[in-house]
Amino acid sequence: MLAVDVKNIKKTFISKQDTVEAVKDVSFQVKQGEIFGLLGPNGAGKSTTILMITTLLSITDGKASVLGIDVATKDKEVREKIGVALQDTGLDNLLTGKELFFTTCRLWGYSKKDSEVRTDELLELVGLTEAADRRVKTYSGGMKRRLDLGLSLVHSPKILFLDEPTTGLDPGSRRVLWDEIKRLRDNGVTIILTTQYLEEADELADRIAIIDEGLVVAEGTSDELKAGIGGDVITFAFENNVDLENAKNILKNTVQEKNELRITVEDGASKIPGYLKDLSSKGVEVSSVSASKPTLDDVFLEVTGYRLEGSEDIKQAKEESKR
Amino acid sequence: MNPNRSFIVQLQILTKRMLLRVIRRPLAELPNLIISAFFLFVYDGALGGVFGGNASGTPFDFAKGNFINFILPVSIVSASLSGAASGIYLVEDIESGVFKRYQSMPISRWAIILAPMNVGALRVLLQSGLMLFIGIIIGADPVVGSIGYLVVLSIAFIWGMGFAGYSVAAGVKSGSSQGAQAATFLFFPAIFLAPTFVPREALKGWLETAAAYNPTTYVIEAMRAVMVDGWELDVLFRGYLAAGLFAALTLTLAVLSARKATEKA
Ligand SMILES: Nc1ncnc2c1ncn2[C@@H]1O[C@H](COP(=O)(O)OP(=O)(O)OP(=O)(O)O)[C@@H](O)[C@H]1O
Ligand SMILES: [Mg+2]
């Protein structure tokens, strides 16, 4: 049975001011025991998708099920099976970590005694034993995210939804969380996570769906996605703009990235000498050249038409040029 | 594991958790307590000399010789407005996302909504009780005897729950804790467009009319009846009726708006 099965779900927010199609058409399937990554920029519709599957938001159109249970009609049953850590985490700052775990255990129906045992287990699991008696207010961003993860694990869910679990964390804290998430997967938990970090999707997710403007624009394992681009990426760097502009005319089909030009071709390494010859015969000086396998970044560029890193600026520029 | 997710257990846990929040912010209790005590001390200081024992035999003898008895109800009504905290507590949880977390768990939504109401009720009882206690120390002495205190507290409780319901409705509707906080603004017309310092007969013109439409008037008059005048059943009845109707109205609004808040968008 599939852990999660999403078929053409759609979410339209209607308010007095306007109508927002936050999710236009999203479908994907998650097998049990895998980490599935939803990768997309700000505003892509990741959180909205997660909220719909976790029964917290109604689905405008389409169907979603968790372990074969329909999300819309059997929301109570679904909630029993899943753990959820949302993006805007609701943590009670005035309570201590220990109190939060204990309260959550009790709310899930554990007896007082069992709650105490489970609280200690979970504090240990997410590495907060030391800070257990401090108020959450005093926790660092990384500690809060770990606490949040721990709270979603209280009832030992088989399926875990994590909405941007590492956003805003430094690389070290991010690594700690990644290891934790992988360990959960190795213990049989299915994990659906969203992220706006390419390396996070690359590192963690067994399979990835790229989501942009409410649509899934690509799906597969990281390797499949990269292979889908076909060939290698050759990158030329130039000392000055004149060379760069000239090279653009000579090489054709390039993509510019600052002072670099990229071109995607089959069997890249063997083609470099030919390109260099063309360029130098026209007097264009190349400062460096390299061939590499495509990265997820290249995949993203290919399917969306822009790069994820710094996509904010690009989107903003797009908006402004519309005015 | 033998899951016990009965409504009562959940309500208990959520109430306890909210109480912890209150206890960890003791200073938040102060403003309303200070205002309530202020009414008691300052008005007794300012007016007690005139309308207290000295007024005996004059037409101004509405306090029947004990101005504390007369002014204590105002202080207690003011203390009962602390019930408005319910809405603030609830909206804080909505704003912080704690509410969403609870919704993602199999928890009764009524337990989520009733917990802050419980804590609001407790706050009303404690704050009103404290004012009553201070009143007793400085010389309150109801003409109907100690049972008068029970009457006063019970009316204050119903009245306070009315404010709790009002703050929940206003808070959820505005969706911000400022909105819930703004609800406490109702405090001014409620207290001052009423026979706060003198009996209603002494008010005149528009204020007399306003006071007649202000339910606070009947609440204060009922409390005053048992403190100053004795068992005036019609006055008492009007007091309970005014508080009861107000509470019924606002609690209905609270339930309706809270139900909406817990529905999926
Ligand atoms: N309640 C709502 N009412 C109206 N529009 C909404 C609502 N929630 C989200 N949106 C809009 O839907 C779109 C998708 O939002 P969503 O939060 O799902 O994006 P996201 O991919 O999670 O982005 P981020 O990386 O910033 O968290 C955005 O344009 C957002 O403004
Ligand atoms: Mg999001």
What does the domain layout of chain A look like in residue ranges? 4-94+135-226, 228-322
CA distance A144 to A157: 20
Enumerate the residues of chain B whose CB falls inside 8 A of the CB of residue A13. Answer: 265
Q: Is the ipTM of this complex over 0.90?
A: no
pLDDT at position B54, please?
A: 72
Residues A261/A240, Cβ–Cβ less than 8 Å:
no
Q: Using CB atoms, pick whichever of A54, A90, A106 lies closest to residue B13.
A: A106
pLDDT band at A114; cut points 50, 70, 90: very high
pLDDT at position A323, please?
A: 52
Residue A311 has pLDDT above 80, yes or no: no
Ligand 2 centroid–CA A153 distance in Å is 21
pLDDT band at B258; cut points 50, 70, 90: confident
Q: Residue B188 CA to chain centroid, in angstroms?
A: 13
Residues B77/B223, Cβ–Cβ less than 8 Å:
yes
Residues 6+ apart with CB under 8 A from B130: B33, B79
Ligand 2 centroid–CA A235 distance in Å is 33
pLDDT at position B217, please?
A: 94
Residue B142 has pLDDT above 60, yes or no: yes
pLDDT at position A87, please?
A: 85
Q: Residue B15 CA to chain centroid, in angstroms?
A: 19
- Of the bound ligands, which one is closest to the alpha carbon of residue A43? 1
Over the range A9-36, which residues count as b (16 or more CB within 10 Å of their CB) and which as e? bbbeeeeeeeeeebbbebbbebeeebbb
Contact B1 A88 (CB under 8 A): no
DSSP for B51-116, written as a single string:
HSGGGTTSTTGGGTT-HHHHHHHHHHHHHHGGGGHHHHHHHHHHHHTHHHHHHTSS--HHHHHHHH
Nearest protein CA to atom 10 of ligand 1, as residue = A22
What is the CATH number that goes with domain A4-94+135-226?
3.40.50.300
Enumerate the residues of chain B whose CB falls inside 8 A of the CB of residue A103. Answer: 13, 16-17
CA distance A170 to B25: 32
pLDDT at position B115, please?
A: 92
Give the pLDDT mean for A40-52.
94
A39 lines ligand 1 (CB under 6 A): no
Residue A279 CB neighbours (<10 A): 20
Enumerate the residues of chain B whose CB falls inside 8 A of the CB of residue A108. Answer: 3, 5, 105-106
**Pairing outcome for strands A69-70 and A207-212:** unpaired
Residues A261/A292, Cβ–Cβ less than 8 Å:
no
CA distance A160 to B81: 43
Q: Is A272 on the interface with B (CB under 8 A)?
A: no
Shortest distance between the Cα of A23 and any Cα of chain B, in A, equals 14
A196 lines ligand 1 (CB under 6 A): yes
A47 lines ligand 1 (CB under 6 A): yes
Residue B51 has pLDDT above 90, yes or no: no
Contact A54 B104 (CB under 8 A): yes
Enumerate the residues of chain B whose CB falls inside 8 A of the CB of residue A110. Answer: 1, 3
Q: Using CB atoms, pick whichever of B13, B93, B100 lies closest to residue A56.
A: B100
Q: How far is CA B212 from CA A110, A185, B156, in A?
A: 54, 68, 19
Residues A230/A61, Cβ–Cβ less than 8 Å:
no
Give the residue numbers spanning the domain of B254: 3-264
A44 lines ligand 1 (CB under 6 A): yes
pLDDT at position B1, please?
A: 47
Contact B100 A90 (CB under 8 A): yes
The H or E element containing residue B117 is: helix B109-137
Phi/psi at A243 (5° precision): -60, -45
CA distance A161 to A148: 12
A82 lines ligand 1 (CB under 6 A): no
The residue to which tokens 């958790």 are assigned: B17
Enumerate the residues of chain B whose CB falls inside 8 A of the CB of residue A104. Answer: 105
Strand partners, A6: A28, A64
Edge to edge, the sheet with strand A255-257 lists A255-257, A260-265, A232-237, A288-292
Contact A114 B1 (CB under 8 A): yes
Residues A241/A248, Cβ–Cβ less than 8 Å:
no
Pocket test for ligand 1, best of A16, A18, A20 (most atoms within 8 A of CB): A20
Give the pLDDT mean for B160-183.
84
Angle (CA) A79-A139-A112 rounded to 5° is: 50
pLDDT band at A321; cut points 50, 70, 90: low
Angle (CA) B190-B221-B85 rounded to 5° is: 40
Torsion sign across C-alpha atoms B99, B105, B110, B116: negative
Contact A86 B97 (CB under 8 A): yes
In tens, the pLDDT along A134-190 reads 999 999 988 999 999 999 999 999 999 999 999 888 888 899 899 999 999 999 999
Enumerate the residues of chain B whose CB falls inside 8 A of the CB of residue A86. Answer: 97, 100-101, 104
pLDDT at position A220, please?
A: 93
Contact B10 A107 (CB under 8 A): yes
pLDDT band at A309; cut points 50, 70, 90: low
CA distance A312 to B156: 56
List the single best residue of A23, A92, A138 to mutate versus B (max B Cβ within 10 A): A92
Write the DSSP symbol of residue B228. I
pLDDT at position B233, please?
A: 94
Range with the poorest average pLDDT among A45-54, A92-101, A268-277: A268-277
Ligand 2 centroid–CA A16 distance in Å is 23
pLDDT at position B106, please?
A: 87
Query: What's the total number of domains in chain B?
Result: 1
Over the range A283-303, which residues count as b (16 or more CB within 10 Å of their CB) and which as e? ebebeebebeebbbbbbbbbb
| Amino acid making up residue A107 | L
Which atom of ligand 1 is nearest to A20's Cα?
5
Contact B106 A13 (CB under 8 A): no
Cα R_g (chain A), whole angstroms: 23
Residue A318 CB neighbours (<10 A): 11
In tens, the pLDDT along B53-97 reads 777 777 777 878 788 899 999 999 999 988 888 888 998 998 888
Most confident of the ranges A53-57, A304-308, B260-264: A53-57
Q: Which chain B residue has its CA at the smallest distance from A99's CA?
A: B17
What is the CATH number that goes with domain A228-322?
3.30.70
Q: Is A239 on the interface with B (CB under 8 A)?
A: no
What residue ranges in chain B does DSSP mark as E strands? none
Range with the poorest average pLDDT among A203-217, B64-78, B230-244: B64-78
Contact B98 A90 (CB under 8 A): yes
pLDDT band at A320; cut points 50, 70, 90: low
Residues B183/B171, Cβ–Cβ less than 8 Å:
yes
pLDDT at position A151, please?
A: 95
Q: Quick one: residue A127, left, alpha or beta (phi over 0 = left, psi -120 to 50 = alpha)? A: left
Q: Is A55 on the interface with B (CB under 8 A)?
A: yes
